[in-house]
Structure formats: C-alpha cells, structure tokens
A and B are shown apart, each in its own frame.
Chain A
Amino acid sequence: MKVIDIKNITKTYTDSEVEVHAVNGVNLSFEQGEFAAIVGPSGSGKTTLLNMLGGLDTPTSGEIHIGGTNMASLKGSQLIDFRLYNIGFVFQAYNLIPVLTAKENAEFILQMQGIPKKERETRVVELLTAVGLGDRLDSRPSKLSGGQQQRVAVARALASKPKFILADEPTANLDSNSTENLLDIMEELNREEKITFIFSTHDARVVKKAHRVITLEDGKIISDEVKAIH
C-alpha cells in the first residue's frame, strides 16, 4: 500500500532574480513499512524534499499525496492537524521540550490529540520501554545523553501512530554507539511494527542500514536503489 506518492514536484526559489530549482521534477513513492534513506551532498535538495513531504513547505508545481490525501488541498490548520495525526518527526537536534520529562515529552503530542490520560500513559511507557528508556521516564532532557534524547524523540514521533516518520539527519549529533543503538531500535520498530521511516542523511551508517537509498543531486533523483524488500 502506497503511503506517499510524489508526482513530478519542483520547488523553485528566486534569489537575486536568479531561479534556483531546489527540487526539480521528482517522482517518488513510498510503500507502507519502508526503511528508506534520502542521501546527497549539501544543497542537493534533501531538506527541501523532506520539508515538502512533512507538509512544512509546498511544492511550486506537482502533487504530493499522503495516504490518498492531496497535500495541496489542505489549508492552514487542516495541514497542521494533518501533520499531527499522520506524520512523525525526528529532528537532528532532538528538539525536546527541556522543562518536561522524557515521559511528558512523548506524551505531549497525544495530549494535543486529546487522548485520555490513562491511554496516553500506557502508550508512552510502552514506547519509551521499547526504545530502552523504561527506567528514565522521569528524567529531563538535560539529564539524558544525546542518544537517549534522540530515542525520546523517536518515541514522541511514534506516539501518535503516524503513517510514516520523517527523520532529518537523526544521527548527525550522535556518537557511534548511540547511532548504532538508535538505528537498531528504529529498524526493529520498522520490522516488527511495519512503521515507515524516511531519513535524510549524510551518515554512511544510516545508509548501510537503509533498505532503500534515494540519491539526490541538484534537486533530481540520480539513483533509487532498493537493497532489501520486507
């Protein structure tokens, strides 16, 4: 089942009267349960493509369909609500709320969805245990290592049961052990729960783990290699 269907999208910026095509005629689709990495040098359009997939930016032309919904049909708060219920985000700098504990951070998104407290707690404890932080539920981000913080971010992204998770350079700030550990957890969640992960990365370790590697250059896909099929 197709989760994402991208039809000939372009994103053009005008810089000092010069048109820059950050993304140029990209056609792409992702199936449920993929574990894919989008790679490419700086300025290749990875971040722009990821922003458009996440509904944080809109294409200049072309269409993006997520779970059958044309993103262009969603306006203002509809788009924000769509993100809340359908897309999970993991950021490079973890971006946790420093005044909340690990449990509260992961719970926050569920609260925005209006999920009852008991249900929220059960789900969040389950997820944090799954990412190996069952014993750090009440720790604030400042008391957690970078790898642990990123695992809280993964738990937060998973909490709302999104259609897919977008991870923008999730391992960029992590050491080797933490990276390995995080990737193992995400791969396990992908394998066992059929959760779709799409990474943008420079990290060779992520590329190695990815089952599909899409390479961008100058806003175009120059290769789309499937390494393993679930």
Chain B
Amino acid sequence: MLLQIAWKNIWRNKVRSAVILTAIALGIFAGVFNMAFYYGMVEQRIETAISTEVSHLQIHQKKYLIDPDSKNSIANATALALDISRLPAVKHTSNRTLVNAMISSAESGSGVRLVGIHPEDEKRITDIHNRVVEGSYLEGVNRNPILIGEKLAQQLNIKNRSKLVVTLQNTEGEMMYASFRVTGIYRTTNPAYDEITAFVRSTDLETLAGIPPNHAHEIAIFLNNSTTLDATMSALQMQRPDLEVQSWRELMPEVGLVEESMDVSMYVFMGIILFALLFGIINTMLMAVLERRKELGMLMAIGMNKKKIFGMITFETMVLSLTGGVAGILIGGALTLYLSHQGIDLTHWGWAAAYESMGYDTMVYPILKSHMLIRITLMVLLTGFLGSLYPAYKALKLNPADAIRIDI
C-alpha cells in the first residue's frame, strides 16, 4: 500500500509534480545522452587506436624504447611472431621495421616515421589498407612503393604516383638516399598520425637501412578479444623478459588516460546534474510535507510510528525521483539508440576540427551500456533518498496534537 500511496501522493498537486518530474527527466536525459556521446567518441577512438595505429600489444627491444635506433631490433623476429600467433588469445601478428627518416618532394620536406611492413601480414591486423583514399595499398609499383597520409601529401604538395626522396641513417650511421614512388594516400581519423607515418615494404626498408633479414623493431599483436589483454601481456612478458611487452594503454597513454578518467568524469557530471536537481526535489517534497502537516499529525496520532512516517516520505521522494529518472533514461536511451545507427556528424559544428586534431572521429555513434543505466538509476535513487531527509525531518518534528488542529 505504501507504493500505492506514494504514487497517489505524487499526483495530488499535478502541476508541481509535473514541473519537478520534467526537470528530473531533462537533467537525466542530458546526463545520459552526454555519457552516451562521450563513451561513443572514446570507444571509437580506442577502436581506431587499436585497429589502425597500435594493435592490442606491441613487443620491442628494451633498448629500442630508450634509443629508437635502427640497430636496436629484435633478432629471429619471424620465429617469435610465429610462436606468438599460435597462442589461443592471439588472432594475428605483424613484424615491422621502423626508421625515422626525412622525406622530400620537389617542393618540400618533412620528418616521418617509416614503417616497414609485410603488406599481407599487416592487412590482418590493421585496417590501413581500407583507409586508402587515392591509389592503392603498396601495389602497382615493383620498386620502392610508399603509402603516405593525406596530411603529409598536402604538406609535401604531392599526388599519387609522385616520386619522393627518402633520406635516413643506416645501422652503420651512414646517410642513405633512395627514391620511392607513392602508390597510395591514406586517411585515418587522426591527422597527426597521418602527417608523420608512411608505410613501405619491410624488405625495401631493410635493404636501405641495412637491417639484417629476419629482424624487426616491433611485433604488433592483435587479440581475438580485448578482455584477454592483461593476461596475454603478462604471459608474453614472462616468456621473454629480455623484451618489452606493452599494451595500447601504454603505447597511447593519452587515449588510455581518457578511457580511465572517462568513468569518473561522466559520473561527476551526472553527480552535478543530480546535485542541482536535489534542491528542486527537496523544495517539492518540503512543500508537500508542509501542506500535509494536518494529515501527518493525524497519522502520528492514530499510531503511525516515526519509522513509518520517515519511510513513507522517503519512499514517496524516491518514487518521484525514479519516475523522472526513468523518463529521462527512456528519452536519452531512445535518442541514443536512434543516433547509434545514424551517427552524429560533428562536421556540422564549428569545433569538429578540434576533435579531429586529437584523433577523434568526426562521426560519433553514441553508446549506452547497461551498467551505465544501472548506476544512473542507483544515483537517482540515492538523490531521492537524500532529497527526502530534510522534508522527512520536518515531518518527524511535528507535534501530532498541534498538527491535527492546523488550518490549512
């Protein structure tokens, strides 16, 4: 009966309840949608970071991380990569040779990180081949093909099929020059990455930089499931303590940090909304209690004890808060569901470029997860409970003998 009374009491003053319910629903809607939007944005960033830039795990020589010299490579990399790819948690591996170089066109030059790849292996773990916007993926040219980012192409003012000169220091410390032919231009969601990363065939780079065959600077590992990340990382690290095994969180600390701080910042944001709503809830319930002093006095007189009075008011406030909260979650959830298919195109907004420069996709697909909804619901209930305390205290302070004679 308490639930029934609480529900009926809420609708005693329809306008007042509708106002606070609307405020709660709008606040929760704003919080839910904001959460879904940023979760979507960050998840996409992480997905891009893993599938395009770094994979789940990478293995390097320890020395390479301190001094990224081409001499500091992993010997017998092919056999090691083969061993790793046989682990059940691992989907594919790809060996890479990495050399910092100067790249020049007829008009301009730029510092780049040359990534020497085995094109077919790389296809299995990154989606760079799907991000080629012009030309092809290191195909169509027999000698020294190179795939460069759109941003770099703009900077060098070159087109597909243009010739570039690559200057680098080989493992002996000598300066080496070679001309490469652009076979394709790619574009990821991270222009900063596109600007400094160029792909060549590993065999071409080994020859030019004097890297011994079967050596690699980096073994990139793509897992079947990201939940096995920590376990696989530990296992590999134990197996090869002489090498450094790193996850994408360490390789892209800025993305890892955003992921880690996301939960806290989103719930703080939701907390601020609920804190503001708390005052509205207190005000509404206080008015409801003061209007019902006579009735509360009667209930106390006929034998409703303080625990039940407290429970009744708390219950009513929580039902009020939850009703508004559920309405907000439903509206926010429906809009998220719709936009999770349609996407939100940030290019319509002025600040899209700023997000893009940080590596975020300008097409955001919001995400809502059940654990978010459960936590939001619990937060709404807690707000309702807190909002009931002062009105309930005022009710408990009533003297039944006086309250039943109040003229309202």
State in angstroms the CA–CA spacing of A81 and B295 once bound together. Answer: 18
Secondary structure class of chain B's binding surface, majority of residues: helix
B86 at interface, CB cutoff 8 A: no
The interface-forming segment of B41-49, B62-70, B297-305 is B297-305
A57 at interface, CB cutoff 8 A: yes
Q: Mark out the residues of chain B between 371 and 408 whose CB falls within 8 Å of any chain A CB in the assembled complex.
A: 400-401, 404
A98 at interface, CB cutoff 8 A: yes
- Structural contact, A95 and B294, CB atoms closer than 8 A: yes
Known contacts A100-B8, A104-B1, A108-B1; decide if A57 and B302 are in contact (CB<8 Å).
no
What is the 8 Å Cβ interface bit string for chain A, positions 46-84, against chain B (1 contact, 0 not)? 000001001011000000000000000000110011011
A93 at interface, CB cutoff 8 A: yes
Known contacts A56-B400, A77-B305, A81-B305; decide if A93 and B5 are in contact (CB<8 Å).
no
A109 at interface, CB cutoff 8 A: yes
Known contacts A95-B294, A104-B1; decide if A80 and B306 are in contact (CB<8 Å).
yes
A89 at interface, CB cutoff 8 A: yes
Q: A172 → chain B, closest Cβ, in Å?
A: 12
Given the complex, which residues of B lie within 8 Å of A228, measured CB to CB?
none
Given the complex, which residues of B lie within 8 Å of A111, measured CB to CB?
1
Please, which residue of chain A has its CB at the minimum distance from the CB of B306? A77
Q: Mark out the residues of chain B between 156 and 204 whose CB falls within 8 Å of any chain A CB in the assembled complex.
A: none
A28 at interface, CB cutoff 8 A: no
Q: Mark out the residues of chain A between 89 and 116 whose CB falls within 8 Å of any chain B CB in the assembled complex.
A: 89, 91, 93, 95, 97-100, 104, 108-109, 111-112
- Structural contact, A51 and B401, CB atoms closer than 8 A: yes
Given the complex, which residues of A lie within 8 Å of B11, measured CB to CB?
99
Given the complex, which residues of B lie within 8 Å of A99, measured CB to CB?
5, 8-9, 11-12
Please, which residue of chain B has its CB at the minimum distance from the CB of A108? B1
Which bracket fits the contact residues of B? 20 to 34
Selected A-B contacts with CB under 8 Å, 17 pairs = A56-B301, A56-B401, A77-B307, A80-B304, A81-B303, A83-B303, A88-B302, A89-B302, A91-B298, A95-B404, A97-B5, A98-B295, A99-B12, A104-B1, A109-B302, A109-B303, A112-B304
State in angstroms the CA–CA spacing of A87 and B302 once bound together. Answer: 8
State in angstroms the CA–CA spacing of A85 and B303 once bound together. Answer: 8
State in angstroms the CA–CA spacing of A162 and B400 once bound together. Answer: 19
Please, which residue of chain A has its CB at the minimum distance from the CB of B401? A56
Residues of B within 8 A of A (CB): 1, 5, 8-9, 11-12, 294-295, 297-308, 400-401, 404
What is the 8 Å Cβ interface bit string for chain A, positions 139-159, against chain B (1 contact, 0 not)? 000000000000000001100
- Structural contact, B1 and A83, CB atoms closer than 8 A: no
Known contacts A95-B294, A99-B8, A100-B8; decide if A80 and B1 are in contact (CB<8 Å).
no
Known contacts A98-B12, A99-B5; decide if A112 and B301 are in contact (CB<8 Å).
no
Q: B297 → chain A, closest Cβ, in Å?
A: 8
Given the complex, which residues of A lie within 8 Å of B304, measured CB to CB?
80, 84, 112
Please, which residue of chain B has its CB at the minimum distance from the CB of A98? B12
Given the complex, which residues of A lie within 8 Å of B404, measured CB to CB?
91, 93, 95
- Structural contact, A84 and B303, CB atoms closer than 8 A: yes
Given the complex, which residues of B lie within 8 Å of A157, measured CB to CB?
302
State in angstroms the CA–CA spacing of A93 and B302 once bound together. Answer: 14
Please, which residue of chain B has its CB at the minimum distance from the CB of A84? B303
State in angstroms the CA–CA spacing of A57 and B297 once bound together. Answer: 13
State in angstroms the CA–CA spacing of A111 and B5 once bound together. Answer: 13
State in angstroms the CA–CA spacing of A81 and B307 once bound together. Answer: 12
State in angstroms the CA–CA spacing of A144 and B286 once bound together. Answer: 29
* New contact pairs (18) apart from A84-B302, A89-B298, CB-CB < 8 Å: A56-B301, A77-B307, A80-B304, A80-B305, A80-B306, A81-B303, A84-B305, A85-B303, A87-B303, A93-B294, A97-B5, A98-B12, A99-B9, A99-B11, A99-B12, A112-B303, A157-B302, A160-B303
Q: B395 → chain A, closest Cβ, in Å?
A: 14
Q: B8 → chain A, closest Cβ, in Å?
A: 4
- Structural contact, A80 and B12, CB atoms closer than 8 A: no
Q: A173 → chain B, closest Cβ, in Å?
A: 12
State in angstroms the CA–CA spacing of A9 and B298 once bound together. Answer: 25
Given the complex, which residues of A lie within 8 Å of B298, measured CB to CB?
89, 91, 95
State in angstroms the CA–CA spacing of A54 and B399 once bound together. Answer: 13
What are the 10 tightest A-B residue pairs by CB atom distance, in nearest-first order? A84-B303, A99-B8, A95-B298, A56-B401, A80-B305, A83-B303, A51-B401, A77-B305, A89-B301, A89-B302
State in angstroms the CA–CA spacing of A112 and B8 once bound together. Answer: 18
Given the complex, which residues of B lie within 8 Å of A89, measured CB to CB?
298, 301-302
Given the complex, which residues of A lie within 8 Å of B299, measured CB to CB?
97
- Structural contact, B401 and A80, CB atoms closer than 8 A: no
- Structural contact, B302 and A83, CB atoms closer than 8 A: yes
Please, which residue of chain B has its CB at the minimum distance from the CB of A50? B401
Q: A161 → chain B, closest Cβ, in Å?
A: 13
State in angstroms the CA–CA spacing of A88 and B298 once bound together. Answer: 11
Q: B322 → chain A, closest Cβ, in Å?
A: 19
Please, which residue of chain B has its CB at the minimum distance from the CB of A91? B404
State in angstroms the CA–CA spacing of A81 and B297 once bound together. Answer: 15
Question: Which residue of the partner chain, among A54, A93, A98, A112, contacts B308 with CB atoms under 8 Å?
Answer: A112
- Structural contact, A97 and B295, CB atoms closer than 8 A: yes
State in angstroms the CA–CA spacing of A51 and B302 once bound together. Answer: 12
Q: B291 → chain A, closest Cβ, in Å?
A: 11
